[in-house]
A and B are shown apart, each in its own frame.
Chain A
Amino acid sequence: MSQETKRIGRRTFINYASAIIATGVIVGTATYFAAPKGEVTVTAPGTTVTKTVTTTLTEKPTVTPTTTTPILKGDLEFWHSYTQTVRIDAIKEIINKFTSQHPDVKIEQVVIPWGQAFEKWLTSWKTGTGPDVQSGTVSVFYGMQRLGAATPIDDVFKSLNPSNFPTAFIDGLTINGQIWALPIYSVGHQLIYRRDWIDEPPKTWDDLYEIAKKNTDKPNKYGWAMALNETAGLNQLHLWMRMNGGEWFDKDGNINFNTKQNIEAVKHMMRLFWDCSPEGLMTKGTAYRAELTKGYIAMTTEAMGWFITDCATAGITDKEILEKWMCAWPPIGPSGDKKDARTWGDYKEICIGAKRPYQDTAKEFLKFFYQDENYVSFINSMPLGMIPCTYSGQQLALKHPKYEYFKEYVPIILDTTNTSDEYGIEHGYNPYCAIVQTGYVEEMLQKIALKELSVEDGVAKIDAKLREMLEEEKKKQ
């Protein structure tokens, strides 16, 4: 009996398996032949595993190329690090619109998390592959440009009305008089403070310290949130230096870190860290800003737009945000000057890969991307979190209800963003700016915070190390 049951089971299994395989083959074949041309593939890697989501257009393209639209073809890869679904979807929509006009074009989004972007790009470049269109940090772009992996896009820039781009955004992307990339968005950091605890935002560093101290009652309440590890520590240091007239490089591209302005900046940061900030934030990274939503921090520097997004994630309503938080220009340091002061700006670019077979198609896609309607649909996928880098884009983006609701913040966000800069590119194009981001600076900041080094010694060590790295980099050319 048991043998008979086994035999029947095996047969049944074979029958079911055959049916499943046959169905799979039929459905797969039918789907393949039914799929319209111009399909869009979205590849969204996680931190280690690449997840591939394939979507196909539900309707066949209705727009046929006219005489004014060049007939384009090619399979393009668009690499970026905008991991949030809303941003991926916004880009996908632009790609869908573009490919519906150009049925012989296929564009794949490859989403690489920020921490892996440079590495992924460099390794792909080493193996002879790379993106057709790439968007990311300016330092990644400089790496591409330096290795000959990017191509000038003067023609694209000219066709987009150059006067529509604020020069502050274009300067760093202009190399030897040629435009090599376009600014895709920027967002400056502001001083964010609890308006229900603090009447007036501080105007000077002394004010700032006093207010932070007054609002500190360890371990229940802290006047400041200071993160000192990779990236977050660098962002805060840059802001402090630039509000006090300091810089990483001088105008000639030499390291200029060991200066009175920078020593003052680090001293003030450390004073705030020691007396007014939770020590536990030292190794917290950019996640430190989430601490603001927990209600025990009075002030810090952060991008208000991103903070609003964090609040939404934490379940804090827009109404509560307006009631509790306000933003302002960070105070100017004793050696700083308001007209030269800069906050740290999260500044991103978009460029075209060199030595790729469909550069013309990539350039046309870039022009299409920067059409106001398309560009702003991407920017407003995270309203206030990304500030457009074109004047017309800024005007259009402001019509989003979120800007209207947070209109109190908008002038400060726009002002700080339009005058912000990034580490190492204080004076425009600098192919060596990435040496600031090796983690050494943050490690020294932590040593100073732990009182293993004096501020003066720490700053001198950072200066010496940066000089050494700069020399090394120059030798490698």
Chain B
Amino acid sequence: MKKIASDTKSALFFILPAIICLAFIYFFPIFLCFYQSLTDESLLRETSNFIGLNNYFRLLNDADFYRAINNTIIWAFTSSFLQALIGLGIALILNQEFKGRTVSRVLVILPWTTPIIVICVLWAWLFAHPAGIINYLLVASGVIGQSIPWLASKSYSLWITCFVWTWSSTPLFVIAVLGALQSVPPSLYDAAKVDGANAFQIFRSIVLPHILPVFSVMFTLRLIASFNHFSTIFFLTEGGPAGSSETMPIFIFRRFWKEYDLGYAAAASITNMALMYIIWSSYSFLRGKLLGE
């Protein structure tokens, strides 16, 4: 017994440097960010003052902050749901036996492997106004009367950026769900067929329970990624027009890199992080309930 205690102490002693390093790398930036959020630190000054929660009170009175939060929630949830839905559909198709399945599986990854800047240039060109291909096709086919400035319109800009992000990210969902689908033992399908189950019943009783753990983790990861996503919106609209597609990352970027207001940007970052933490906790709680963990 004494030896075990001594071994544990020795083990702790040897891994302590690694733990300290990891803790430093993990938590120091967050701590620093939180500390900055309590100061009026600016890149335009050498010194800063401690101002308590003033930056958080400023956030509460900032209409642009509420607009950014609202846009972020709409953007992140919509894109994550679409990725999940479309990803699941494509994965189910690719799980079937058909000619060209291997080629299709390779091709479906393409949007995900394309650099985001290339994707944005491509879609900006497709959605261009007045002479973009999408406008041309829609006008020529009579769907719309005149070309629409998609990326310069308050009504569409957020949705277009959401669509482009969904298009580029769905393959990740497909890969994950396809992997889960392939882990379902074929004997279960055979048994269900023998029992006379239809396609929906097979999906509900066999497929869904098998893919649910992967599916729910993927959904949450995509939700967090969408909450934090910056480049698609920045490259396509810079958060415009008139802030209509400005999400939290763009909001923080502008406070940090345009106004050099580190303290305020840090407060917005901590708030955004807290929001995501709430989402993650809710997910963990729901997952526990759903999967009986």
Footprint of B on A, CB under 8 Å? 47, 119, 122-123, 126, 143, 146-147, 218-220, 222, 228-230, 278-285, 294, 296, 437-439, 442-443, 446-447, 449-450, 452, 469, 473, 476
Beyond contacts A122-B260, A281-B152, A284-B152: 5 other A-B pairs, Cβ-Cβ < 8 A, are A126-B43, A147-B45, A279-B149, A283-B151, A438-B258
Q: Of A280, A282, A437, A476, which is within 8 A of B42 by CB?
A: A476
In the assembled complex, the CB of A316 is this many whole angstroms from the nearest CB of chain B, namely 17
CB–CB B154/A278 < 8 A: no
Q: Which residues of B contact A278 (CB under 8 A)?
A: 129-130, 149
Q: Which residues of A contact B135 (CB under 8 A)?
A: 219
Q: Which residues of A contact B149 (CB under 8 A)?
A: 278-280, 282
Q: Of B43, B117, B150, B242, which is within 8 A of A446 by CB?
A: B242
In the assembled complex, the CB of B28 is this many whole angstroms from the nearest CB of chain A, namely 16
CB–CB A476/B240 < 8 A: no
Instruction: Write 21 A-B pairs (CB below 8 A) sorted by A numbering.
Output: A147-B45, A219-B130, A222-B130, A228-B241, A230-B238, A279-B149, A280-B150, A281-B129, A281-B152, A282-B149, A282-B241, A283-B152, A283-B157, A283-B237, A283-B240, A283-B241, A294-B131, A443-B240, A443-B242, A446-B242, A476-B40
Chain B 211-245, CB-CB to A under 8 Å as 1, else 0, gives 00000000000000000000000001110111100
Q: Of A122, A219, A443, A473, which is within 8 A of B147 by CB?
A: A219
Q: Of B43, B130, B157, which is within 8 A of A218 by CB?
A: B130
A229 vs B246: C-alpha distance in the bound complex, in angstroms?
Answer: 13
Q: Of A229, A284, A437, A450, which is within 8 A of B154 by CB?
A: A450
Who on chain A is nearest to B129 by CB? A280
Interface residue? B11 (CB, 8 A):
no
9 closest A-B pairs by beta carbon, nearest first, are A280-B129, A219-B130, A282-B152, A279-B149, A280-B149, A446-B242, A122-B43, A446-B241, A447-B242
CB–CB A119/B257 < 8 A: yes
Q: Of B151, B157, B243, B260, which is within 8 A of A443 by CB?
A: B243
A143 vs B46: C-alpha distance in the bound complex, in angstroms?
Answer: 12
A296 vs B240: C-alpha distance in the bound complex, in angstroms?
Answer: 24
Q: Which residues of B contact A449 (CB under 8 A)?
A: 241-242
Interface residue? B32 (CB, 8 A):
no
In the assembled complex, the CB of A231 is this many whole angstroms from the nearest CB of chain B, namely 10
Q: Which residues of A contact B152 (CB under 8 A)?
A: 279-284
Chain B 149-168, CB-CB to A under 8 Å as 1, else 0, gives 11111100100000000000
CB–CB B131/A296 < 8 A: yes
Q: Which residues of B contact A126 (CB under 8 A)?
A: 43, 46
Who on chain B is nearest to A121 by CB? B43
Who on chain B is nearest to A219 by CB? B130
A442 vs B43: C-alpha distance in the bound complex, in angstroms?
Answer: 22
In the assembled complex, the CB of B263 is this many whole angstroms from the nearest CB of chain A, namely 11
Contacts A219-B130, A219-B146; A282 near B258 (Cβ below 8 A): no
Q: Which residues of A contact B68 (CB under 8 A)?
A: none
Contacts A282-B240, A285-B238; A439 near B131 (Cβ below 8 A): no
Q: Which residues of A contact B45 (CB under 8 A)?
A: 147, 476
Give chain B interface residues in 250-288, CB to chain A under 8 Å: 254, 257-260
Interface residue? B106 (CB, 8 A):
no
In the assembled complex, the CB of A396 is this many whole angstroms from the nearest CB of chain B, namely 39
Interface residue? B191 (CB, 8 A):
no
In the assembled complex, the CB of A229 is this many whole angstroms from the nearest CB of chain B, namely 6
Interface residue? B94 (CB, 8 A):
no
Who on chain B is nearest to A473 by CB? B44
A283 vs B157: C-alpha distance in the bound complex, in angstroms?
Answer: 10
Number of interface residues of B (CB under 8 A): 34
Who on chain A is nearest to B121 by CB? A287
Interface residue? B76 (CB, 8 A):
no
Q: Of A123, A281, A296, A438, which is within 8 A of B43 by CB?
A: A123
Interface residue? B128 (CB, 8 A):
yes
Q: Which residues of A contact B132 (CB under 8 A)?
A: 280
Q: Which residues of B contact A452 (CB under 8 A)?
A: 242
In the assembled complex, the CB of A239 is this many whole angstroms from the nearest CB of chain B, namely 21
Who on chain B is nearest to A285 by CB? B238
CB–CB A229/B238 < 8 A: yes
CB–CB A439/B254 < 8 A: yes
Who on chain B is nearest to A445 by CB? B242
Chain B 110-135, CB-CB to A under 8 Å as 1, else 0, gives 00000001000000000011111001
Q: Which residues of A contact B258 (CB under 8 A)?
A: 437-439
Who on chain B is nearest to A287 by CB? B124
In the assembled complex, the CB of B155 is this many whole angstroms from the nearest CB of chain A, namely 10
In the assembled complex, the CB of B234 is this many whole angstroms from the nearest CB of chain A, namely 10
Q: Which residues of A contact B243 (CB under 8 A)?
A: 443
Who on chain A is nearest to B154 by CB? A450
Who on chain B is nearest to A115 by CB? B257
CB–CB A446/B240 < 8 A: yes
In the assembled complex, the CB of A388 is this many whole angstroms from the nearest CB of chain B, namely 31
Contacts A278-B129, A282-B149, A283-B157; A122 near B44 (Cβ below 8 A): yes
A278 vs B150: C-alpha distance in the bound complex, in angstroms?
Answer: 12
Give chain B interface residues in 27-64, CB to chain A under 8 Å: 40, 42-46
A469 vs B261: C-alpha distance in the bound complex, in angstroms?
Answer: 11
Give chain B interface residues in 170-196, CB to chain A under 8 Å: none
A449 vs B147: C-alpha distance in the bound complex, in angstroms?
Answer: 18
A449 vs B154: C-alpha distance in the bound complex, in angstroms?
Answer: 11
Q: Which residues of B contact A219 (CB under 8 A)?
A: 129-131, 135, 146-147
Who on chain B is nearest to A432 by CB? B44
Q: Which residues of B contact A280 (CB under 8 A)?
A: 128-130, 132, 149-152
In the assembled complex, the CB of A172 is this many whole angstroms from the nearest CB of chain B, namely 19
Who on chain A is nearest to B260 by CB? A122
In the assembled complex, the CB of B74 is this many whole angstroms from the nearest CB of chain A, namely 19
In the assembled complex, the CB of B91 is this many whole angstroms from the nearest CB of chain A, namely 32
Q: Which residues of B contact A285 (CB under 8 A)?
A: 238
A122 vs B237: C-alpha distance in the bound complex, in angstroms?
Answer: 26
A443 vs B67: C-alpha distance in the bound complex, in angstroms?
Answer: 14
A437 vs B257: C-alpha distance in the bound complex, in angstroms?
Answer: 11
Who on chain A is nearest to B40 by CB? A476
A296 vs B132: C-alpha distance in the bound complex, in angstroms?
Answer: 13
Who on chain A is nearest to B48 by CB? A476
A279 vs B148: C-alpha distance in the bound complex, in angstroms?
Answer: 9
Q: Of B44, B129, B130, B153, which is within 8 A of A146 by CB?
A: B44
Q: Which residues of A contact B131 (CB under 8 A)?
A: 219, 294, 296
Who on chain B is nearest to A435 by CB? B259
Q: Which residues of B contact A283 (CB under 8 A)?
A: 151-152, 157, 236-238, 240-241
Contacts A218-B130, A279-B152, A280-B128; A450 near B44 (Cβ below 8 A): no
A52 vs B153: C-alpha distance in the bound complex, in angstroms?
Answer: 41
A476 vs B236: C-alpha distance in the bound complex, in angstroms?
Answer: 34
Who on chain A is nearest to B132 by CB? A280
